[in-house]
């Protein structure tokens, strides 16, 4: 059931957003003009043809408050509302379309095909660009979605100063000179120089807490600063002398290590064990390697690292714990009515020939009733007495007007006057960024010229200040992809997450997706007679292939990539601000800043051993607040310490 209040708010917001886009710096709109003349359908609808009423009604204070809230919601979508002081002292408003939309991009049908493939492989979920290119509903997103990319990408292209609130030990205003966007193992960072200094820092996009504002100031970048920005990494600190580490492990795990770390050297020892030597840039990086390996390795040298590890492991899950009922998380956000309506409108604008109700419902995973409600409101929009026109008017075409409520109607955009639809900017800066990142991820798997040609076209429009880095070695990725395309079953040797011995599995792989820099394959496992998800870098080798010619049951989980974040037990962990990055990749994690400067994160855990390893990774500075898991990680820490 569509609520009248939601529909009224949706139509008012979309009408205001589109109207401000049609205004200009020379012809801005004052609040008085908008309030007196902007019309929407009356709610609740009382007749078959609803009459028009003013969008803003009530007393002066109530109207002002509603208008300010609406402007804030439009800004939350990355649209930059500009203000102009007119000759009579009144304030006018307009949306800088160039601040929201990138210049037009033309892709060939072959390039559009690889874009669809890339967005399915590692897209940004339902809110991202997927539904603009694909006829089916968007899968769960493997990359972090954010409207903040709109101003960030524009500031990068123009070399303009950027200001935003950022949550670290405290939530503070940051004023920076953006240099590059880096995507490292699936996490997105803005690398920028602190305005007025020579300090280069990285800002994780998920910790930005306000819509970035592109300021008027420009800046210059020298080559040294560019090199520093390109080399930046989280927690990175190169020491004058590398740290050489030697561990003893099983032959199977040694094989995985030599694939993951190209500089690793392995030598067989007595009893089917292997000695592996590796080199790291600093002591902390070496420490994290041993901690992540857990009980699968025994550290031989250096002694300094043993001492550091002993101290680290002694502090696992130790510290002050706040009362659980005092840690309150914000409720999940409700449906974004404005964003949803603009996405539907955007898809219709891009479609050329238009889209039917059923197509829009399928693309955006909405009911046909919701699609009809939203699109019929868009059809009914009227300009302000002909003085200002919307960028395009939506036309509805029915095959059966007498049965309009159930007809699979077609909606298409019609441009009036001298406007040429081919000259209009069609994708937002954020959507251009999404396409770029997804294609770069896909280039690791699909070696076809259309991927690179699409990237080149995108970067010719938005610039090339994007770096994508995946440190994971996935030597079996091409073999798995080939098995999917050829319809094969494969017999593999697979090492589960915390094991050091491989298992033999026979699987029929169906789909590859990317999450947090790792490629995962969804497959029907004949060994377990069930659908399972496998991490590609944990496949040791493929020992046999054969045709997969038997029918299999339908996969019961559609969003299998992030399903781990939707099942299991709720856990709350309190962490120091510097350790947020360890927990941020967890699917569907919720965050809350505490008064003492620490952060609380809530997520779901289906496997207790996963939480144990997570707490050992975090070490001192993280403590579980959920009583059921109060000792998580401590036994594992003791086992690793005993092996030192």
* Strands in 13-79 per DSSP E: 29-30, 39-41, 52-54
Give the span between the Cα atoms of 632 and 317, in whole angstroms.
Answer: 7
**Nearest C-alpha neighbor of 10 from the set 368, 355, 371:** 371
Question: Which residues contact residue 147 at a Cβ distance below 8 angstroms, ignoring those fewer than 6 apart?
Answer: 76, 77, 78, 211, 430
For 74, counting Cβ atoms within 10 Å of its Cβ (0-12 exposed, 13-18 middle, 19+ buried), the class is buried
- Beta bridge partner(s), residue 280: 243
For range 125-151, the mean pLDDT? 87
- In Å, how far from its chain's centre is CA 141? 6
Lowest mean pLDDT among 82-86, 214-218, 382-386, 407-411: 382-386
Q: Would you tell me how many other CB atoms lie within 10 Å of the CB of residue 94?
A: 21
Give domain status of residue 142, yes or no: no
What would the pLDDT profile of 76-109 be if each residue is shown by its tens digit?
A: 888 889 999 998 889 999 998 888 888 888 889 9
Which of 69-83, 158-172, 237-251 is least confident?
237-251
Domain enclosing residue 527, as ranges: 477-558
In terms of domains, do 22 and 85 share one? yes
Residue 128 belongs to some domain of the structure: no
Q: Which of 558, 588, 611 is the last residue of a domain?
A: 558
User: Is the peptide bond prior to 302 cis by the omega test (within 30 degrees of 0)?
Assistant: yes
What distance in Å separates the CA atoms of residue 351 and residue 411, rounded to the nearest whole number? Answer: 10
Predicted confidence (pLDDT) per residue in 288-327, tens digit: 899 988 888 999 999 999 999 999 999 999 999 988 888 8
Residue 274 has pLDDT above 80, yes or no: yes
Asked if 629 and 606 touch (Cβ cutoff 8 Å), the reply is: no
**In this predicted structure, what is the pLDDT of residue 10?**
82
Which element (helix H / strand E) includes 447? none
Q: Are residues 521 and 610 in the same domain?
A: no
Same domain, 569 and 484: no
The per-residue pLDDT for range 627-640, each reduced to its tens digit, is 999 999 999 999 88
- 297 pairs with which residues across the strands? 249
Give CA angle at 607 (573, 614), nearest 5°: 40
Indicate if 529 and 570 belong to the same structural domain. no
**Full strand arrangement of the beta sheet holding 569-575:** 590-593, 599-605, 569-575, 622-624
* C-alpha distances out from residue 329 to 133, 256, 589, 628, Å: 35, 39, 11, 19
d(CA 341, CA 374): 6
Do 483 and 546 lie in a common domain? yes
Q: For residues 516 and 359, which has the higher predicted lDDT (pLDDT)?
A: 359
Domain match, 5 and 68 both = yes
Torsion, Cα of 497, 500, 503, 507 (10° steps): 30
- Interval 26-48 mean pLDDT: 81
What are the residues facing 101 on neighbouring strands? 428
Q: Strand runs (DSSP E) across 516-617, as ranges?
A: 518-525, 530-535, 539-547, 569-575, 590-593, 599-605
What pLDDT digit, counting tens, does each position of 530-578 carry? 999 999 999 989 999 999 989 999 999 888 888 766 678 899 999 998 8
pLDDT of 423 strictly over 50: no
Q: Under a CB-based contact definition with an 8 Å cutoff, are residues 518 and 538 in contact?
A: no
582: domain CATH number? 3.30.70
Q: What distance, in Å, lies between the first and last C-alpha atoms of the chain?
A: 62
Asked if residues 134 and 553 have their Cβ atoms less than 8 Å apart, the reply is no
Lowest mean pLDDT among 383-387, 412-416, 454-458, 500-504: 383-387
Across 44-48, average pLDDT: 61
Q: Which of 314, 342, 368 is the C-terminal boundary of a domain?
A: 314
Mean of the per-residue pLDDT values of the chain: 87
Whether 593 is covered by a domain: the verdict is yes
Residues comprising the chain, all counted: 644
> Quick check: 517 pLDDT over 60?
yes
Domain boundary among 534, 558, 582: 558
């Amino acid at each position: 059931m569509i609520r009248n209040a939601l529909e009224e708010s949706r139509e008012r917001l979309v009408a205001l957003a589109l109207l401000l886009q049609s205004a200009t710096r020379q012809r801005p709109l004052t609040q008085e003009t908008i309030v007196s003349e902007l019309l929407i359908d009356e709610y609740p609808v009382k007749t078959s043809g609803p009459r028009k009423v003013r969008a803003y009604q009530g007393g002066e204070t109530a109207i002002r408050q509603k208008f300010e809230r609406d402007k804030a919601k439009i800004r939350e979508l990355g649209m930059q509302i500009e203000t102009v002081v007119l000759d009579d002292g009144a304030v006018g408003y307009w949306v800088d379309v160039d601040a929201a939309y990138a210049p037009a991009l033309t892709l060939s049908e072959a390039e559009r095909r690889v874009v669809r493939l890339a967005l399915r492989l590692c897209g940004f979920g339902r809110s991202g660009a997927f539904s603009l290119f694909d006829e089916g509903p968007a899968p769960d997103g493997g990359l972090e979605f954010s409207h903040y990319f709109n101003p960030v990408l524009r500031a990068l292209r123009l070399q303009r100063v950027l200001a935003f609130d950022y949550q670290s030990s405290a939530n503070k205003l940051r004023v920076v000179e953006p240099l590059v966007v880096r995507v490292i193992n699936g996490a997105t960072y803005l690398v920028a120089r602190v305005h007025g200094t020579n300090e280069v820092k990285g800002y994780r996009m998920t910790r930005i807490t306000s819509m970035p504002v592109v300021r008027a100031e420009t800046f210059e970048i020298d080559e040294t600063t560019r090199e520093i920005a390109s080399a930046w990494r989280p927690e990175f600190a190169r020491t004058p002398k590398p740290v050489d580490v030697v561990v003893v492990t099983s032959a199977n795990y040694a094989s995985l290590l030599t694939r993951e770390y190209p500089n690793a050297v392995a030598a067989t020892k007595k009893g089917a064990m292997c000695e592996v030597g590796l080199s790291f840039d600093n002591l902390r990086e070496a420490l994290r390697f041993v901690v992540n390996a857990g009980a699968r390795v025994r550290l031989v040298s250096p002694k300094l690292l043993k001492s550091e590890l002993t101290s680290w492991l002694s502090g696992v899950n130790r510290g002050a714990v706040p009362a659980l009922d005092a840690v309150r998380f914000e409720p999940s956000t409700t449906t974004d009515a404005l964003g949803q309506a603009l996405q539907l409108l955007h898809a219709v604008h891009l479609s050329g020939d238009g889209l039917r109700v059923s197509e829009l419902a399928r693309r955006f995973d909405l009911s046909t009733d919701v699609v009809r409600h939203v699109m019929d409101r868009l059809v009914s929009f009227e300009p302000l007495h002909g003085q200002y026109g919307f960028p395009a008017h939506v036309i509805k075409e029915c095959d059966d007007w007498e049965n309009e409520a159930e007809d699979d109607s077609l909606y298409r955009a019609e441009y009036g006057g001298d406007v040429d639809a081919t000259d209009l900017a069609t994708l937002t800066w954020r959507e251009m960024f999404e396409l770029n990142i997804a294609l770069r991820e896909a280039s690791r798997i699909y070696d076809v010229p259309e991927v690179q040609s699409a990237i080149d076209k995108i970067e010719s429009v938005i610039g090339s200040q994007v770096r994508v880095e995946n440190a994971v070695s996935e030597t079996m990725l091409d073999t798995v992809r080939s098995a999917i395309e050829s319809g094969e079953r494969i017999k593999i040797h697979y090492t589960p997450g915390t094991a050091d011995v491989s298992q033999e599995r026979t699987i029929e792989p169906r789909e590859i997706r990317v999450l947090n820099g790792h490629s995962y394959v969804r497959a029907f496992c004949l060994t377990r007679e069930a659908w399972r998800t496998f991490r590609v870098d944990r496949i040791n080798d493929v020992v046999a292939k054969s045709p997969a010619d038997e029918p299999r049951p339908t996969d019961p989980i559609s969003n299998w990539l992030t399903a781990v974040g939707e099942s299991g037990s709720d856990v709350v962990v309190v962490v120091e601000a510097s350790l947020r990055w360890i927990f941020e990749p967890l699917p569907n994690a919720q965050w809350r800043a505490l008064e003492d400067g620490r952060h609380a994160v809530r997520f779901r855990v289906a496997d207790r051993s996963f939480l144990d390893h997570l707490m050992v990774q975090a070490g001192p500075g993280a403590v579980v607040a959920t009583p059921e898991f109060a000792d998580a990680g401590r036994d594992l820490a003791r086992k690793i310490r005993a092996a030192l």
